[in-house]
Chains A and B, each alone.
Chain A
Amino acid sequence: MSEQNSKTKDASRDLDRAIIRASKRLDLCRDEIGKAVIGQREMINGRLTGILAGGHVLLEGVPGLAKTLAIRSLSQVLDASFSRIQFTPDLLPADLVGTMIYRQQTGEFIARKGPVFSNIILADEINRAPAKVQSALLEAMQERQVTIGETTFELPNPFFVMATQNPIEQEGTYPLPEAQLDRFIMKLAITYPSAGEELDILRRVGIEYDPKLDTVLFAADIQEIRGVVEKISVDERIEKYIVELVTASRKHGEPRSFHRYIEFGASPRASIYLYRCAKVHALFESRGHVLPDDVKAVAPAVLRHRIIPSYEAESEQLSSTDLVDLLLSTVPVP
């Protein structure tokens, strides 16, 4: 019995040490990105959460909020290849995943891999490309493999897609269908920086500024940190809380006052992602266990694109984020 206790204590101590190590690396990573991007800490944390939880992130924000800069900086501090794909109405799936080309010298067709074969992909303005291109990318995101001709190619690991879309200028766009939105682990809403941060931006970028960022996180580190995340414990009551939050968003469950504002609730995928993201958030807080605070902290980003507001909600100008807030302020925490 005492031997078992000491083993448990040792494992707990090891986990604590691993958490501290991982936290330090992540802090280092944030600091490096912070050299190029001022503020937007939530956005950076959101991207790191996406990478560590093994998901992809959708970013929504008006132009000029350092979305591209942040992802480029992230690719620099991570030892990872980076591709930026500007989605346009004339983009074809082959432009994304690659195509078979004929080599005259050898007289055979060879596969030319597209920009999707990178560790980090920035799918800029994803809603400007037609549905077939969106589908090609979303399939790659889901399967983590691409078939060109008759050959299937594995995508590199880590594989992280960050798609952006502009909440304004909706004319001529192809909004992502709900089923495809559901594949993004998080939807981050990027807001304007604070006045202080903007002043800092002005002072730093007022002159030509191109900071050199060091690579501080390697593929092996990411794998190791993912391993640490897996070891973070989630109590049964927290698991139930996650499921309760997700099921409360659905109309067919226990009737709640805010259900009239919800057209469709979140899918079971939301529960999985909420669980994973809460664990990553616990790591960010250097904790070996998940608290309700972690779940609440990630819930808006995980749920906001999975809850479809009803006509009544729209008429009362309630966004899906407001609905998530309602959800969080109603479901009792364990």
Chain B
Amino acid sequence: MKRPALMVVFLLVGTWVAVSQSSYVIVDSVRLPAESYVGDPVELRYSVRSQATPAVPDDIGQPRWGEITALRVVPGAGVFDLRMTVTPYEPGTLALPRIDLGEVRIEGLSLIVESILAPGEVGLRPAHGPQRLPGTQAALLLFGFGISFVIALVLYLLGPGRRHIHSIVSRYRARVPYRKLLARVQLLERDIKRYTMREFYIVLVEELQAFMTSRVEQNCMAATATELIELLSELEESCGATAGTAAPLEEVLTAADSAKFARKTIRRKKRSRHLKLVHAVAVELESHRTKLRRSVRGPRGQVSRVGA
């Protein structure tokens, strides 16, 4: 009768000891970061409900697969937080060692550790270059294309393009005096009432001289009315390009001289006609521009001079 009673007593004492030693419940657990890789430190936080008072051990047992670098207990009412930092050096599901907190021993905890190595791969992959930002390749392609375009453009501009562009620019510039003359003729026509007679002819003749200077490559700004007419007559004879321009221009320039230097009155109707004549002469000369340049000769027109 005594032996079975003793056995029951031992059983009860053993159960009480067992229950008193493991009386905790893990109510929450957090892993930071959620995914951990070999070599990365991981913080594990467990909320433990227990009536026991936990005590941080002096010596933390180290696992075989890595190391526990820190262990901390944050006490609370009925629940305390266990926080530890673990650095695993192996992949897989790793069992944490039993943690003895005095009245309570935490065990059966584990940690899943990933590996960047592909399955079956042994060792680490060699280090590769910095990662490119999205669109880097397109940008590089675009840049390369741009550089090539600039190089090609520079080569073109230094080579055949130079002549081509020069000819375009000179063609544009060559027509500037012509356009300017026509614009001035239009302006004079529009504002014929605003100009005094003298001003009208001064402006008209100056524009005509500037235009002729550009067309015959002589300084017609220093040419008198007679010289301009003689120059046109010479051109008529030499290339025939200005046929019919000397006579109308003579009428205009003679009237201009009378208005400018003798203050003679020239009616508005006649002035209007002179504008039309100048316009017609300009159009005629412009249509034979290249021919004119070839046929120009001598430094300036001839004027009969006393004692020349």
A: residues with CB less than 8 A from B are 42-43, 45-46, 49, 186-190, 233, 235, 237-238, 277, 281, 287-293, 296-301, 325, 328-334
A186 contacts which chain B residues (CB < 8 A)?
A: 306-307
A281 and B306 contact, CB distance less than 8 A: yes
Interchain Cβ contacts under 8 Å between A and B, 27 examples: A42-B308, A43-B307, A45-B307, A186-B306, A187-B307, A190-B307, A233-B262, A235-B262, A235-B263, A287-B262, A288-B262, A291-B257, A292-B225, A293-B224, A293-B226, A293-B303, A296-B227, A296-B305, A297-B303, A297-B304, A297-B305, A298-B305, A300-B306, A300-B307, A301-B306, A329-B299, A333-B223
B300 and A301 contact, CB distance less than 8 A: no
A295 to B255, CA, bound (A): 19
A208 to B188, CA, bound (A): 65
A289 to B257, CA, bound (A): 10
Report the tally of A-B residue pairs with Cβ distances under 8 A.
85
A333 and B261 contact, CB distance less than 8 A: no
Q: How far is the CB of B63 from chain A (nearest CB, A)?
A: 99
- Given known A235-B260, A238-B261, A334-B260, contact A297–B225 (CB-CB < 8 A): no
A237 to B260, CA, bound (A): 9
A45 contacts which chain B residues (CB < 8 A)?
A: 306-307
A237 and B308 contact, CB distance less than 8 A: no
Q: How far is the CB of B84 from chain A (nearest CB, A)?
A: 95
Q: How far is the CB of A295 from chain B (nearest CB, A)?
A: 9
Residue among A42, A289, A334 making CB contact with B307, cutoff 8 Å:
A42
Residues of chain B from 241 to 277 with CB closer than 8 A to chain A in the complex: 257, 260-263
Tell me if B221 is interfacial: C-beta within 8 Å of chain A.
Answer: yes
Nearest 7 interchain pairs by C-beta? A188-B307, A301-B307, A289-B262, A46-B307, A332-B221, A235-B261, A292-B224
B219 contacts which chain A residues (CB < 8 A)?
A: 329-330
A333 and B305 contact, CB distance less than 8 A: no
A237 and B305 contact, CB distance less than 8 A: no
A281 to B226, CA, bound (A): 15
Q: Is the interface of B mostly helix, strand, loop or mixed?
A: loop
A189 and B308 contact, CB distance less than 8 A: yes
B261 and A291 contact, CB distance less than 8 A: yes
A133 to B111, CA, bound (A): 135
A45 to B261, CA, bound (A): 24
A332 and B307 contact, CB distance less than 8 A: no
A292 to B228, CA, bound (A): 12
B260 contacts which chain A residues (CB < 8 A)?
A: 235, 237, 334
A43 contacts which chain B residues (CB < 8 A)?
A: 307
B306 and A277 contact, CB distance less than 8 A: yes
CB-CB nearest in chain A for B258: A289
Tell me if B95 is interfacial: C-beta within 8 Å of chain A.
Answer: no
